[in-house]
Structure 1
Amino acid sequence: MVGMRDVAKTAGVSLSTVSLVVNNTGYVSDDMRAKVEAAMRQLNYIPNELARNLYRNRTNTIGVIMPTIAHPFFATLTAHLQREFAARDLKTLLCSIADADKGEGEYVDMLQRHMMDGIVMAAHTEHPGGYWTSIHRPIVAFDRTLGEGVPAVRSDHEQGGRLIARQLIDSGARHVVLVGGPRSQFAEATTFPTIRYHLTVERMLADAGIACDYVEAGIVADICAHEATARAIFERYSDVDAIVGSDLVASVALQEALRRGISVPRDLQIIAYDGTFMAETAGMRLTAVRQDFPAVAAALASRMDSQIAADNGTTSAAAAEGGNAVAANGGQSTSEDIISVTLIPGETTR
């Protein structure tokens, strides 16, 4: 097997020079670098990635913890996030908690043992904030608050709520049904920012004198419960004339309305929240609040760059782009990137 010593001998340089070129560390003149790279090509030398990672104390692997990839939102986000990390020469190690029947503990253990460089946490956790800050390794939260010092990225859910409420008010809605997760998540100390769109819609509709009911559809990983809830709305609320829920809920509600002969959008408006591929494939093009998946993924990756750079005591152009990112779980105030959302008109609103 060809090794660095063989490359050094062929190039006529020292072993340390070859090491600097292979690991891209330290200064090497252009002439020396060209000799080493030519020798590597001549000998078909392939650097030992494991050895390089040990040398740099890096694995180039990011753990991504999702509640489930069966849900269209998390499947879409995972695809964009994996693409974003790949552009940074980082591999993605996926943990879909519901699908693998495992919690985040195994991944946190791997992070602490330096088997990965960082974790994007996008699943529900029952650990208190102190648990995450005590890990002292790169962690970035998505759409949840993990505690002081853990940076987070989320969509502007208040903006999403305002867009939905304004559409319903302007179109003359009379009785709106919102579908979401357990109402217990709406507690004052909640770690779920997504509730803000529901609360914003409820407040604006109440101010406009429009009836609004909230229906719980269970946890996000319970796909069957979401589908059953969407169908049950029609039995429970005979006068409903607008339904708001995830792409999944909105799609099932649309199909149930058409099955019952209800005219959409004349007699029933439907608004989806997420804007995944399902908004285009439900039978009619759903009006949807679209979360900006590319921008969310880019923000998560940029935050991760900053966290890793801080963890290694280095700086980089990618880390600098992190804006006001904090040191990895260093006890500073939590910083948050808020990504704008857009209302995409479809065929299911007036």
Structure 2
Amino acid sequence: MTQTQTHPSLLDRLPKVRGSYKENAPLAPLTWFRVGGAADVLFTPADADDLATFLAGCPDDIPVLVVGVGSNLLVRDGGIEGVVIRLGSGFTSIERVDDTKMRAGCAVPDIMLAKAALNAGLTGLEFYRGIPGALGGALRMNAGAYGHETKDVLIEAEAVSRKGERVTLSNADFGYSYRHSEVADDLIFTSALFQAALGDKDEIKARMDDITSSREDSQPIKSRTGGSTFKNPGGTNPDGPKAWKLIDAAGARGLKRGGAQVSEQHCNFLINTGDATGSDLEGLGEEVRARVKETSGIELQWEIKRVGREAQT
């Protein structure tokens, strides 16, 4: 176990684990935006049992937050209080359970599940090729793209509660809606079982290639971005209002604040042009929301998760 003794009072209150603790751990390198402050403590559990041990022994008054690959996350400049949990290699297994089912750890990037299904000749999971992030976040927010959502393919998921209890949730337990689930905030997902179907590898690969091309053509995937910034007000309704159209109509395409900018390529994406702060990005997002509200009467809802403390001045 690795420990850096800069705030021993907090580490002294945490349980012994097989994974690693790191104090005052920079979080910007772990997020796609590359902004934000440090975690008071960053904990990387060895596996699900180690995670359960930590949660069972962590005092209730210490805040705990789990993060994935940081694709849909904006960390504020003051960092995050308490313990940030980041699932690592102990949560990256992928296996074919039977002819049509796949089980994967929740640190697995969405794209890797899609590729594993392709290699197994299974169809139905191609849409994950178009979703940045890891499966834990996909479960939490019912991630979806290209006409499909997590709720369409999830059978069940394993999780650990804040008290360290291991639980299994069925699809119905999630109470899924558009980019939302009703699952308790304190549950940390560890693995999930997905339903696919037998398919033709060439056809599956062609669909995934189409998704890849579509993303490259329409989204700033090579920029420091956090994916779609705001939820579509129309949800999955193809005829409903789209966030990017509302932003464009409000004249916010290319809008800048500090080192943050609304993407010229796809205006529902915020990008870090190089020296943005968390405050730049969040402030720009709020300005976009205000403009859209003024021009359309619609109040956009953040899809990106914003966490942490404001920087002290």
Higher strand share: 2
TM range (shorter): under 0.3
Provide TM-score, normalisation by structure 1. Answer: 0.24
Larger radius of gyration: 1
Q: Give 1 or 2: higher helix fraction.
A: 1
- TM-score, normalization by structure 2: 0.26
